[in-house]
A and B are shown apart, each in its own frame.
Chain A
Amino acid sequence: MEQKQLENLSPDLFRPAAGKEDLEKIGRPSLSYWQDAWIRLKKNKGAIFGLIIVILITLLAIFAPVFSSHTYREQNLALSKLPPKIPVLEHVGFLGVDGKDKDGFDVYKAKNVKEYYWFGTDDLGRDQWVRVWQGTRISLLIAVAAALIDLFIGIIYGGVAGFYGGRTDNIMMRIIEILIGIPHLIIVILFILIFKPGVTSIILAMVITGWTGMARIVRGQILKMKEQEFVLASKTLGAANSRLIGKHLIPNVLGPIIVTTMFSVPGAIFTEAFLSFIGLGIAPPQASLGSLVNDGFRFIQTYPYQLIIPSIVISLLILSFNLLGDGLRDALDPKMRK
């Protein structure tokens, strides 16, 4: 009975078993490290928000002062302390950008001003829109320059210590340990007292102790990488040093380096603002975000917009860098790959 049923099966029902080639077929496209990281980053809403805001603020900082009819130092005492007034948004009551001061008095009408000052003007009649973006430009310049110099020194110092190891490493790390013991801000303050506040002296002051963090990270990474089996395997397979460095060491060390740099930028923005507060920041008429916030405090009761607007910009900027840094840390960690 069973025999008969089996005989009735038609050959069409059969097909050859999958060959060995198929078993080894790669199921999904092979992705490079960066493509992979980008895919992970895109999934992180916070990081993308941060990235967009950072790009937006950077573009505004670069172009807003260029395309404005005012400059950051041009004074017009007749038009001082105008509240912010932005077209279209002026009809949205709660935003308070309708050109009326805190008592609801329309200053623009009273002074017969036709022009719209988007962020208002300060006590010397300088256009706050231009000053805020000019200030952002200076803050970003200082922060990015300090971060890049830290990166440069850190990679070399940490690389040498990690690569040679042993006694060299020991001595170099002891030096760093002592440097780390010195409070960062104290050194920055002393340095600026001597070299007078300015963009260059602020950058240099921040770099003096700022590079140690990066150096430690690079050293730690290199030390870890040297002992990994995949490096040994690659060596055993006859890989040249250039291939070892280019294919294995750099991609693995680059992630933490980028993340550390990402986090050191907001730190530097904060330090610069901090210096403005203790009277060691950028000197007027030049402005930075910190000095604008500091100046804004004088008018907290009467013209609060002078405090609020730069405060929002600096907070948003630091927040965006932190969100982006968080996202990058997750995205660039190869162990997160699913």
Chain B
Amino acid sequence: MKINQELCVGCGMCVPYCPVGAIHLEDRKAHIDADACVECSCCRRSGVCRKNAIVQDELSWPRGVRSVMSDVFTVYEGTGVSGRGTEEMKTNDVTGRFRPGWVGVAVEMGRPIAACTFRQVQEVSVALAASGIVEFEPCNPITALMKDNKTGYFQDDILDERVYSAILEFPVKLEDLPRVLELCKQAAEKTDTLFSLDVCSVTQDGQNQKVLEILDKAGMSARPNGKVNLGLGKPAYQF
């Protein structure tokens, strides 16, 4: 994204619209810091600029990855889902992605509104992969950008690309959840950015209660609000 300097009148109205603080005023004109910008299009789409001075420049590779991971309207071909998301537990009733005995874990690097580089994501993905108990979700753009999803290393050319957020998603066996939570705690101490963490589980055989017990033992707690899949999808996955 860039500002057409001839059209910009330097009103500064666009500045607070940038989620990652990439817009600043200088010499009575707005400027976008290309390194900081994650190509989310929030500024342009907001319509805040009455002079239409916010323009999308051509995004070639590897910069284009910023848009895939940051712009709500950019659909990743591999998932068919816009933005950086996947179907995750939302369609678990028909996909059976997270089965009894397994827990889904999502580490969303850069969220909320801190952003992250792939180098920062890699620090966490490599640590998780090294445990040997994590296999990253194949239907996630992040996994497709890895050189090797068994090691968690990303393609070299995208390492310094900055994105709004990147979700490391993977299923783990219920008995391995404590180890993963410990790895997440260690990652939290080392990372220069932040991440949101969540877990999902089927309710069958009271497994969700077992997850709560594991969280409690790990010194972690769930927020009072969460998400539930009501099992209304068809054809229902037969566990």
Query: Do these two chains interact?
Result: no
